[in-house]
Amino acid sequence: MKHINEQIKQLEAKIDSLSIHIPAIDLLATIPGIGKKLAHILASEIGDINRFNNAKQLVAYCGIDPSVKQSGNFNGTKNRITKRGSPFIRKALYIAATVVIRQGVNSVLLSYYQQKVQTKAKKQALGAIMNKLIRIIYSVLKNEKPFELITPEEQEKRYKNALKLAS
């Protein structure tokens, strides 16, 4: 066990030294709920963000989109995710989503979860948080800017200030 633990420490040190050259890891680590290890997993699984034209494609790539049942003119969605993508990225998103919910590190996502829990099952609400996290990840990586938490009140203030400046 000591030998295996030592090998794990050496591998983690090597991953940290190699990650200096990947700016996506530092960007992902700015998102509340995503630490360095999850950032490594997410960056390696997502790869180049420019492969995706929009956040919806990234959601589908991760396998978090709802499954669709079609028959003739009927289009319906099941209460399950497709699980088409990498299980590693889904597991990392699950961990990040539970951190957001349990520790309350992102007040906007936490209030969104509490809203969803009132009308959906807890697992469905957790899936909605994972979906939101993917959309945040897409935005952070595509714009190459660190995450900035903006509450709805702050967003309204910024909007009003922008309107004042425009007129």
Encode pLDDT of 67-123 as tens digits: 666 667 766 666 667 677 788 999 999 999 999 999 988 888 898 999 999 998 898
Encode pLDDT of 8-41 as tens digits: 999 888 887 877 778 899 999 999 999 888 999 9
Integer Cα distance of 29 and 34 in angstroms: 5
Contact 93, 133 (CB under 8 A): yes
End-to-end alpha carbon distance in the chain = 68
Instruction: Please name the residue that has the structure tokens 């295996």.
Output: 4
pTM of structure: 0.81
> How would you class 149 by CB atoms within 10 Å of its CB: exposed for 0-12, middle for 13-18, buried for 19 or more?
middle
Nearest 5°: the CA angle 81, 123, 101 is 120
